[in-house]
Structures are given as structure tokens and as C-alpha cells.
């Protein structure tokens, strides 16, 4: 369908052309909104709600455009809904979604793990959304891939917004996001599987189950966008009333067996969220302890949680790692240390370290209009 066959679209095309000249401003604006949403996560719930509703309406618009056009073409009518306008609106929503969600995933991704692949995919999709020849080529010639892009956008926006808007746990949000993604992938499979028939519908349902299964099996590669490690420390002692690590020692096998070790983590979570997480202790890659913790969201410096391990093996020397993971196995962060008799031994000095890649407290509190906790 072209502008000539749709008079209203012909009148809209000059307006679309004028707006398109300024479309390059939309991705950076969306990225800034995402940064604000990340830094001021408890104050920007309406952004997530508007974004989720916008995606739903855009999906309905895209489905309606495709179905109505096919219905009219079967009746010999060369008409339909204005696809150019629908695609233009969809492009803006996809750009807004991807660039809004990117700060959450960029800050919470553990780049030395498989999570980097998922966030890398989001970066590629964000670039695709701002390159008109690729985006409109995908929309016009590879419709099923186009709907898969939309399904991915629905998936990530729900991962980001559900814990913020509804205080759902990371696991609950993940399940609902997978269900939504498989549902929104339905138009892709309708266009991909031809011809029509009973086997087609059975194959489509099977592919939906496979898609959902792949997403669930790969959940360890999906960053928990609403949770991040804001600080960690190792210490031989702990002030439970102040929830502060205390003391110093070198992590030799003898010291570890005599005094044990505290691992302290501060986990940032949206206000109202109550979630079970785990400290998973690993020695040379093998799990030796899995300790459950309940965290509550809303504290600016992060919810302070700790575990204390006292029973170590006869020879605890080697590389240790304490992973902070959700109940569904998504890794929030890690604390690494080495136990040895020589100079290779790590120090447990109680100093709270901020993980690399997390924005500084001073920036976050400047945006929030508060002082840094160090002041």
C-alpha cells in the first residue's frame, strides 16, 4: 500500500518526514530517561507503566495493520491501515524501550559471564532500531523477525518495570516476561509457518514451548535488571547492630580456620521488593555452601546482608568466590578472594568496595538531590 491509495496517509507523510529529521534526538532522550529510571528507580514508576502500555498498544496496532490488510486484500480491495505510520510509531517505541532499559542492563551485567551476550544482543537491537535502512528493511521484508524484535522489547521492559511497579520478585518477573514474550512472538510464527493447517498450529505451539524453554534454561545469562550489588566487603568480625564489617586479617588457611570469615554485600533493590537471594560459596569452582538471605528494597545504599562461614576444610587454600544469586539462578554479583600462606593471600580488612561498572554514589545522590553516604 502506498500514499496514493490512502489519502489520509498522503496528508500525514509530510508531517512524518518533518518529524523524522529530529528522530535522532529520541534515542539519547530515551537513554537519559533510562538513566534517571535507574538512579531514581523508586521515583520513576510511571515511566515504566507508560512504556509498557505503549508497547501493548503498538503491538495491537501492528497486528491490526497486518490482519486488516490481509482481510481487505482477500476481498480485492487495495487498501489497509497505513503501515508507514504504524512502523514509524513502532520504531519510536522500540527505540524508547531499548534505550530506556539499556542502563539497567549495562549496570547490572557481569561482563565476564554469559550475561554479556544478552546485553550485547540488546545493544545490537538498539543500533538496529536507529538505523532506518535496516529497521525498515526488517519491517518490510522479514516480518517475522520484526515481530520477534517486538517480543524481545516486551520481554526486557517487563523485566525492568514489573519489580518497580508491582514489587514482584525477580523470579516472578522473569516468568511473566517469558510468558509475555512467547505470546508476543505468536505473530512471528504465524507468518513463518506456512501453509495453514492443523500441523501448522501444532508446530507453532511446539515452537512457543521451545522458545519459552530456551529463555528459562538461559535465565542465568539474563542480568537481574532490578537488583545490583552496590558494595561488598570481607572481614573477620561483624558489628550486627550497626551491620558493619569489622577487623582485619590476612586470609591464610590458619586464620580462616581459627576465625572464620564474614562476607558482606549491599544489594540495591526497588522499594517494596522482598526477595530471597543466596550467598553461594565456591572453592576452586565447586559449591561448598549455599546460604539463603531475605532482602528488602528501598534503602539507597543497598540492603545490607552477610553470611559467616566458620567450618572450612582441612586445606582451604585456593581460589574462593561467593556468588550473590537470585532464587532463579540469576547472578547479581560476586566477591572473590584467595586463601594462601604467601603473598598471594587476600586481605579481609572490612573495607566496603564498590563493584566495577556500578555508577558512583555521588552521581546517584546528586540526581536524587541527596548527599553521598560518605558525607
Q: What is the pLDDT along the chain (375 residues), one digit of tens a residue?
A: 444 445 555 555 666 566 666 666 767 776 776 666 666 554 555 665 666 666 667 666 666 666 666 665 565 554 444 566 667 777 877 887 888 888 889 888 998 899 999 999 999 998 888 887 888 888 778 877 887 888 888 899 889 888 877 889 999 999 999 998 888 777 666 666 666 667 777 777 888 888 889 999 999 999 998 898 989 999 999 999 999 999 999 999 999 999 999 999 999 888 788 999 999 999 999 999 999 999 998 787 789 999 999 999 888 999 999 999 999 999 999 999 999 998 899 999 999 988 765 544 444 444 444 443 333
For residue 106, give Cα distances in angstroms to 34, 79, 97, 100, 274: 11, 43, 14, 11, 23
Contact between 216 and 178 under an 8 Å Cβ cutoff? The reply is yes
Instruction: Say which CATH class 228-368 falls into.
Output: mainly beta
Kindly state the cell numbers that stand for 216: 528459562
* Residue ranges with strand state E in 106-251: 228-235, 237-239, 244-246, 249-250
* Residue ranges with strand state E in the chain: 228-235, 237-239, 244-246, 249-250, 261-268, 274-283, 286-296, 303-309, 318-326, 331-339, 347-348
d(CA 123, CA 215): 18
Domain ranges of the chain: 7-221, 228-368
Query: pTM, whole model, 2 decimals?
Result: 0.78
Amino acid at each position: 500500500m502506498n500514499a496514493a491509495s490512502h489519502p489520509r496517509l498522503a496528508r500525514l507523510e509530510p508531517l512524518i518526514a518533518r518529524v523524522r529529521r529530529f528522530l535522532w534526538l529520541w534515542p539519547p532522550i530515551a537513554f537519559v530517561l533510562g538513566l534517571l529510571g535507574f538512579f531514581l528507580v523508586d521515583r520513576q514508576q510511571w515511566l515504566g507503566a507508560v512504556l509498557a502500555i505503549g508497547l501493548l498498544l503498538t503491538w495491537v496496532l501492528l497486528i491490526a495493520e497486518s490482519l486488516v490488510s490481509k482481510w481487505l486484500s482477500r476481498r480485492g480491495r487495495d487498501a489497509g491501515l497505513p503501515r508507514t505510520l504504524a512502523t514509524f510509531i513502532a520504531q519510536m517505541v522500540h527505540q524508547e524501550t531499548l534505550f530506556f532499559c539499556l542502563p539497567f542492563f549495562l549496570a547490572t551485567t557481569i561482563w565476564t559471564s554469559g550475561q554479556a551476550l544478552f546485553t550485547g544482543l540488546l545493544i545490537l537491537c538498539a543500533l538496529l532500531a536507529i538505523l532506518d535502512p535496516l529497521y525498515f528493511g526488517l519491517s518490510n521484508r522479514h516480518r517475522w523477525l520484526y515481530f520477534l524484535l517486538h517480543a524481545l522489547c516486551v520481554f526486557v521492559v517487563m523485566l525492568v518495570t514489573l519489580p518497580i511497579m508491582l514489587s514482584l520478585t525477580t523470579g516472578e518477573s522473569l516468568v511473566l516476561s517469558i510468558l509475555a514474550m512467547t505470546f508476543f512472538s505468536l505473530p512471528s510464527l504465524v507468518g513463518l509457518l506456512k501453509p495453514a493447517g492443523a500441523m501448522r498450529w501444532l508446530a507453532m505451539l511446539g515452537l512457543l514451548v521451545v522458545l519459552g524453554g530456551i529463555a528459562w534454561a538461559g535465565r542465568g545469562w539474563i542480568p537481574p535488571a532490578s537488583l545490583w550489588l552496590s558494595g561488598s566487603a570481607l572481614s573477620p568480625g561483624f558489628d550486627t547492630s550497626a551491620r558493619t564489617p569489622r577487623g582485619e586479617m590476612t586470609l591464610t588457611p590458619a586464620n580462616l580456620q581459627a576465625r572464620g570469615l564474614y562476607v558482606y554485600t549491599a544489594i540495591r533493590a526497588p522499594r517494596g521488593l522482598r526477595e530471597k537471594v543466596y550467598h553461594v560459596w565456591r572453592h576452586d569452582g565447586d559449591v561448598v555452601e549455599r546460604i539463603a538471605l531475605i532482602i528488602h528494597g528501598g534503602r539507597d545504599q543497598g540492603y545490607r546482608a552477610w553470611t559467616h562461614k566458620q567450618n572450612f576444610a582441612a586445606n582451604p587454600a585456593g581460589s574462593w568466590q561467593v556468588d550473590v544469586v537470585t532464587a532463579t539462578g540469576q547472578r547479581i554479583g560476586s566477591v572473590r578472594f584467595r586463601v594462601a600462606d604467601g603473598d598471594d593471600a587476600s586481605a579481609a580488612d572490612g573495607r566496603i568496595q564498590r563493584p566495577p561498572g556500578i555508577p558512583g554514589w555521588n552521581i546517584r545522590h546528586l540526581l536524587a538531590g541527596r548527599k553521598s553516604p560518605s558525607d
